[in-house]
A and B are shown apart, each in its own frame.
Chain A
């Protein structure tokens, strides 16, 4: 199936549903999640997170998305039959906001679909107001 992997980005990737587990090819992980599966563990940029129980993550040559999220310390909701995996943002980003009082970066589209970064208004005071049609 084509599964949808949702983090701060939305990616689709080929996957297999095995009961409650959503399995993908290790080679597909960087594009799906931005992390690489290596002997050192899960790596991104120059950081590697060691994975103690590799057998929980690598199942018959495929990676269990839920187990990858757990190894990265992220909460996740995996709906294997529906081919949807949603992984939480890194808790540290929220701590930045709540404890360090530094506004975490985000990128969101305007109503015309043009992407904007919070950072493009650095150097200006910002009154961030969230609202909704509901």
Chain B
């Protein structure tokens, strides 16, 4: 297990890692959202001994805590992971299927990440208005990306579990719940 927090500071992350013994890294620049084309958390990637991506960006949860909200059960993915770790069972790909293809980021989605990074640096330097401008531009360029829209909320003084989040969630829902990766594993192997 290798956990990476797409978060601004270690202080925000530490409360969540009590009792955890596996490595927890912090990605304050959101490099992984660009490098691996991730648009939400949690995103799970299976990487084998030779650094091959065996199962790409997927939505999976370790528990059923948010099952009613997300529609994703933890059991099936956990079972698949165990089969992979214990017996080397890799996800099957349907012949000729594009089911496992992950779409690349558009230029606008990349630019959104660049504006987000610029905003983080401006904010750290105390340039609040400059930061606000770049956060806003990032949100315009990637309106359905959680690593942009939701991640900026605590950095601009909004509650990521409050009204602004639910308004964003409705937008995302109306747009067809786009996500850069595989849908959640509810009971079927998706690829």
Contacts and interface: CB of A to CB of B under 8 A. Distances in A.
A108 B24 contact: no
Among all A-B residue pairs, the 5 with the closest Cβ atoms: A134-B160, A77-B114, A108-B25, A133-B12, A101-B53
Query: Which of A88, A94, A112, A129 counts the most chain B CB atoms within 10 A?
Result: A129
A130 to B, nearest CB: 5
A93 interface: yes
B146 to A, nearest CB: 8
B interface SS class: mixed
A8 B13 CA distance: 21
A interface SS class: mixed
Contacts of B111: 75, 77
B134 A111 contact: no
B23 interface: yes
A108 B26 contact: yes
Interface in B85-128: 85, 101-105, 107, 110-111, 113-115, 117-118, 121-122, 125, 127
A103 B51 contact: yes
Interface stretch (A13-21, A49-57, A115-123): A115-123
Interface in A46-76: 75-76
Interface in A64-114: 75-77, 79, 82, 84, 86-89, 93-95, 97-98, 101-104, 106, 108-113
Contact of A106 (B35, B113, B114, B127): B35
Contacts of B153: 134
B110 A128 contact: no
